[in-house]
Amino acid sequence: MFMQNTISFFVISVSVLFCQPLCAAESVVKGAEKQVRELIQQTCVDCHNQDTSEGGLNITAIDWNLKDAFSRQHWVQIHDRIQAGEMPPDAKELPAQERIKILNVLSDSIYNADLKDVLSEGRGPMRRLTRLEYENNLRDILSLPDLDISDMLPEDREKFHCNKVAEILDVSRIQMDAYLNAADAALRQAIAAGVKPRKSNSRRFPATSMFESVDTYGGREAMFYAKDSKIVPLTRSDLMKIRKKNQHDPEMEMALFRSPSWPYYGYPEAFRAVEPGEYRVRFSARAVRQVGDFGLREAWSSVPMNFRARKRSGPDVSGDVRVTGDTFDIQPTKSIFETTVRLKKDETIEYCLLGLPVPRPINPPNAPLYYDFPPMPKGGHPGVAFQWLEIIGPLDSVEWPPVSHQRLFGSLPIKASERGELAIALVSDQPQQDAVRLLRRFIHSAQRKPATENELRIYERLVLEEIERGAPLAEALITGYTAFLCSSQFIYLTEPQADSKNRHYEIAARLSHFLCNSRPDPVLISFAEKEQLLGASILQKQTNRLIESKSFNSFVSDFTDYWLSLKDIRRDEPDARLYPEYRFDDYLINSMEAETRAFFACLFHDNLPVTTIIDANFAFVNDRLAQHYDLPPVNGSKLQRTLLPPTSPYGGLLTQAAIMKITANGSTTSPVLRGSWITDRILGAAPPPPPPAIPAIEPDVRGATTIREQLAQHTKDPVCAACHARFDPVGFALENYDIMGAWRDRYRSLGKGEKVTGFDRAGHTYAYFVAGTIDASGRLLDGSEFEDIKHLKQILASDPRILARNLLQQLTIYATGTPVRFSDRPVIESILDQCQPQAYRIRDLLHGLIQSKIFLGSSSKL
């Protein structure tokens, strides 16, 4: 295995550390600098000196000041290069014994200095909440599960494929201003919007009121009204007459055959949410096929659909467009469906059929533009026929004032407000006393560790001054609450430390932000109050409870957004010239994204061995993905855990469509990019950045040369070859997966090869060429050779410790905001040792980390 030497060296240095008591290590360190400098003088200085500072390193200029984080980091790098066997380039220049010697001296010295720093200053700085965490905290405190304020805050920066790195989560004036606005907006949303719940309206739309017009972009084929499964060719004026006279025929259906994409406005006539809030949507529909002459037949399989919230802005979209409510599989037999959607003021709902054609504009010369619908496939166009739709809302809480209001103001009576921005005012005989009581109650519910009496006084004074200045009680309280929600106590998570009186609270907060991206729930808080969280079995039970909770989804999506860059899955549009089959296939991309998240969650839920990342005999697929992966058909849009046939090239994270799409660019794949991506994210060996002034290799879409030929040319230079040999081979094995992860045996091109023609999903002719055959074989750095991806997977899975270490390191950054430090390394190795007998199961790794001093804080003073 190509990284084996790393491991063996690691084990040596780690075992040395464990054998030596700390005090002994200190005495060794005394003459350390001298020893290191001597060995370096012999081996390294020839290349890394003042004149020829190879790789930008002049080793003689580096201070031996290990107390200083910056120079310590330099020595860590030197240590790691020597340990990995990368330096010196000719291994013979540093005989094994000397190598062990220098590594031991270096690692002992660095370890001691690093540990000392951890014990005196903490393992890492306190960390600001991410905007997602801030939003979730407020959602929980205010009991507003759909609160949407994260975008009011500036986007968080990213480092180490993580959004929770303490050193770069800064606070600026703009950030602070945004906190004030976001907290204020959230608090106001929590307050009752009136003295009584809003009146809910119910509207029923017969089929002939379910669409604005008589057809849509794409012509009649895209949408028509029907009765007895035959088209009723209504004109605009027919429709107006029906609506005006209210002569709707209950036997009519509205039949739709396209997916939404600009231009399209598939919403009911005359409905918009006058009030923002939740609306209940009920409708009756069946899946159909459109056959010749606009007839309807029963569909062969279900058609997935959901609703999008958007403004009634016609074909052009303005502002937000988002899926709201459930996704349904409309069945061939007529049935009634029901869901709850959330709408902002003036929004409506749009029918969003998934995976159907999107008509494309045709611009004929000297004639107006029009939109074309594809020719009819065998069996007809799949679609949905709707009978009626009902919208009821806004649905306010039955309990009034709503729970969110009670979180702020308890049970104080309310009345209509006469001044200020709020719709209600609080009724109180003793506003000062009530203010103090409610403020203390609120802070108690929002704090993550006990506020001191001094702090409480500061907020009390603020609220009382506001009342004195004549602010209504509710407004004065909002002022105080806003202040607390913008305080440093609230926006920073602090590092648990052994001597801290709040250590248990800090652990509770770290655990909940790690696994749920939010504040500790009452159960965790109560364990913190009782100081019981350090008990191994309680901590394990609580961890398991959070993993089983619904909030764990937030960890899954946030972690994969960064570790695997899933948030970037829509970055590149598939090139419609080369891949016409993927044009506007949002349904496929959404399914791909959902698959990877479901798979990642399953790793923890089922505590699967870490090698499952590389290979698995199952996959989560729905109807579209089964088709994409060339598996036996699956029914419905819901992902189902499916056993893969042994011949399938899928299984494991490595070859999932989402990963293949993220590592491609929409037109072509590059073994360099895919290979280095996998080596970095999955194996934890980030390749060095490409040297400056060397142009990137761009795959040739004309099909004249294959990427392998181009790379062979590029790597003729041994300097290039040395680096490329680390990651290209992995990329070669993935060449059988196209830009969206579908299997291919040959490349496509726009120039050379056999011509392939046909009609795309919008009915447009396409032509591309099928060119060179793919060679997916390769040879890893350590010499092991493989034929194809199946073979490579076996090789990668044969060293699970590498995979486990990488995942553990990534989890450490995410959980603590600080990457694995030098003094953490033995801890990481010991967690790996514990998990080794069970084949490094993933939940075990997580437990190992949470129970370690990396997570819980150091428990002894130096």
User: Per rule CB under 8 A, is residue 304 in the interface with other proteins?
Assistant: no
User: Per rule CB under 8 A, is residue 482 in the interface with other proteins?
Assistant: yes
User: Per rule CB under 8 A, is residue 363 in the interface with other proteins?
Assistant: yes
User: Per rule CB under 8 A, is residue 537 in the interface with other proteins?
Assistant: no
Residues 585-624 that bind other proteins (CB under 8 A): 586, 590
Task: Please state the closest distance from residue 590 (CB atom) to other proteins, in A.
Answer: 8
- Which range in 487-495, 625-633, 638-646, 700-708 contacts other proteins by CB under 8 A? 487-495
- Which range in 136-144, 239-247, 486-494, 553-561 contacts other proteins by CB under 8 A? 486-494
CB of 364 or CB of 646, closer to other proteins: 364
Query: 737 and 744 in contact (C-beta within 8 Å)?
Result: yes
Task: Please state the closest distance from residue 812 (CB atom) to other proteins, in A.
Answer: 17
User: Per rule CB under 8 A, is residue 726 in the interface with other proteins?
Assistant: no
Residues 540-579 that bind other proteins (CB under 8 A): 570-573
User: Per rule CB under 8 A, is residue 529 in the interface with other proteins?
Assistant: no
The b/e string for 128-148 (b: 16+ C-beta within 10 A; e otherwise) is: bbbbbbbbbbbbbbbbbeebb
- Positions of E strands within 433-515: 492-493
User: Per rule CB under 8 A, is residue 319 in the interface with other proteins?
Assistant: yes
Determine how many CB atoms are found less than 10 A away from the CB of residue 421. Answer: 10
CB of 98 or CB of 170, closer to other proteins: 170
CB of 149 or CB of 845, closer to other proteins: 149
Of 294, 492, 618, 766, which one interacts with other proteins (CB under 8 A)?
492
- Which range in 187-195, 383-391, 484-492, 667-675 contacts other proteins by CB under 8 A? 484-492
Of 145, 368, 522, 646, which one interacts with other proteins (CB under 8 A)?
368
User: Per rule CB under 8 A, is residue 450 in the interface with other proteins?
Assistant: no
- Which range in 292-300, 356-364, 630-638, 700-708 contacts other proteins by CB under 8 A? 356-364
Bridge partners (DSSP) of residue 619 are 642
User: Per rule CB under 8 A, is residue 242 in the interface with other proteins?
Assistant: no
User: Per rule CB under 8 A, is residue 449 in the interface with other proteins?
Assistant: no
* Alpha helices (H) in 530-577, listed in sequence order: 536-548, 552-563
Nearest partner of 303 among 587, 640, 594, judged by Cα:
587
Nearest partner of 849 among 608, 511, 483, 547, judged by Cα:
511
- Which range in 108-116, 278-286, 489-497, 680-688 contacts other proteins by CB under 8 A? 489-497
In angstroms, what CA-CA distances link 322 with 162, 275, 342, 344, 347? 26, 18, 10, 11, 11
User: Per rule CB under 8 A, is residue 458 in the interface with other proteins?
Assistant: yes
Of 96, 367, 398, 696, which one interacts with other proteins (CB under 8 A)?
367
Write the CB contacts of 385 (distance below 8 Å, at least 6 apart in sequence): 226, 253, 254, 255, 256, 285, 286, 287, 288, 296
3-state secondary structure of 749: strand
> Quick one: tokens of 297?
């037949």
CB of 178 or CB of 634, closer to other proteins: 178
C-alpha to C-alpha distance for 107 and 17, rounded to whole angstroms? 8
> Quick one: tokens of 377?
């496939």
- Which range in 460-468, 604-612, 631-639, 759-767 contacts other proteins by CB under 8 A? 460-468
Query: 608 and 600 in contact (C-beta within 8 Å)?
Result: no
Task: Please state the closest distance from residue 128 (CB atom) to other proteins, in A.
Answer: 8
- Which range in 18-26, 45-53, 102-110, 254-262 contacts other proteins by CB under 8 A? 254-262
Q: Would you give the DSSP letter of residue 150?
A: G
Task: Please state the closest distance from residue 855 (CB atom) to other proteins, in A.
Answer: 17
User: Per rule CB under 8 A, is residue 73 in the interface with other proteins?
Assistant: no
Determine how many CB atoms are found less than 10 A away from the CB of residue 595. Answer: 23
CB of 392 or CB of 458, closer to other proteins: 458
User: Per rule CB under 8 A, is residue 18 in the interface with other proteins?
Assistant: no
3-state secondary structure of 72: helix
Task: Please state the closest distance from residue 37 (CB atom) to other proteins, in A.
Answer: 29
Of 97, 235, 333, 366, which one interacts with other proteins (CB under 8 A)?
366
Task: Please state the closest distance from residue 87 (CB atom) to other proteins, in A.
Answer: 31
Angle between helices 825-835 and 842-850 (to 10 degrees): 140
CB of 547 or CB of 576, closer to other proteins: 576
Of 278, 434, 466, 738, which one interacts with other proteins (CB under 8 A)?
466
Phi, psi (degrees; rounded to nearest 5) at 702: -75, -15
Of 110, 162, 352, 831, which one interacts with other proteins (CB under 8 A)?
352
Query: 474 and 409 in contact (C-beta within 8 Å)?
Result: yes
CB of 173 or CB of 716, closer to other proteins: 173
| Residue type at 637 in one-letter notation | S
> Quick one: tokens of 20?
């030596």
Nearest partner of 282 among 198, 147, 395, judged by Cα:
395
User: Per rule CB under 8 A, is residue 67 in the interface with other proteins?
Assistant: no
Which residue do the tokens 């040959």 mark? 746
Task: Please state the closest distance from residue 239 (CB atom) to other proteins, in A.
Answer: 22
CB of 7 or CB of 462, closer to other proteins: 462
User: Per rule CB under 8 A, is residue 693 in the interface with other proteins?
Assistant: no
C-alpha to C-alpha distance for 205 and 281, rounded to whole angstroms? 11
Q: Would you give the DSSP letter of residue 771?
A: E
Determine how many CB atoms are found less than 10 A away from the CB of residue 554. Answer: 18
Task: Please state the closest distance from residue 46 (CB atom) to other proteins, in A.
Answer: 38
CB of 238 or CB of 346, closer to other proteins: 346
CB of 182 or CB of 226, closer to other proteins: 182
User: Per rule CB under 8 A, is residue 308 in the interface with other proteins?
Assistant: yes
Task: Please state the closest distance from residue 323 (CB atom) to other proteins, in A.
Answer: 5
> Quick one: tokens of 182?
């976001």
Task: Please state the closest distance from residue 130 (CB atom) to other proteins, in A.
Answer: 15
C-alpha to C-alpha distance for 627 and 609, rounded to whole angstroms? 28
CA 446, distance to chain mean position in Å, is 26
User: Per rule CB under 8 A, is residue 442 in the interface with other proteins?
Assistant: no
Task: Please state the closest distance from residue 823 (CB atom) to other proteins, in A.
Answer: 15
Residues 161-190 that bind other proteins (CB under 8 A): 166, 170-178, 180
- Which range in 148-156, 517-525, 790-798, 831-839 contacts other proteins by CB under 8 A? 148-156
The b/e string for 317-345 (b: 16+ C-beta within 10 A; e otherwise) is: beeeeeebbebbbbbbeeeebebebbbbe
Residues 121-140 that bind other proteins (CB under 8 A): 121-122, 124-126, 128
Query: 260 and 366 in contact (C-beta within 8 Å)?
Result: no
Write the CB contacts of 469 (distance below 8 Å, at least 6 apart in sequence): none
C-alpha to C-alpha distance for 368 and 219, rounded to whole angstroms? 14
Write the CB contacts of 121 (distance below 8 Å, at least 6 apart in sequence): none
Residues 369-408 that bind other proteins (CB under 8 A): 369
User: Per rule CB under 8 A, is residue 661 in the interface with other proteins?
Assistant: no
> Quick one: tokens of 826?
């033995």
Task: Please state the closest distance from residue 821 (CB atom) to other proteins, in A.
Answer: 12
Of 479, 622, 806, 858, which one interacts with other proteins (CB under 8 A)?
479
In angstroms, what CA-CA distances link 596 with 35, 566, 603, 613, 634? 50, 9, 11, 11, 18
| Residue type at 187 in one-letter notation | L
- Which range in 96-104, 204-212, 477-485, 834-842 contacts other proteins by CB under 8 A? 477-485
Query: 636 and 329 in contact (C-beta within 8 Å)?
Result: yes
User: Per rule CB under 8 A, is residue 16 in the interface with other proteins?
Assistant: no
User: Per rule CB under 8 A, is residue 806 in the interface with other proteins?
Assistant: no
Cα angle 432-436-442, degrees, rounded to a multiple of 5: 140
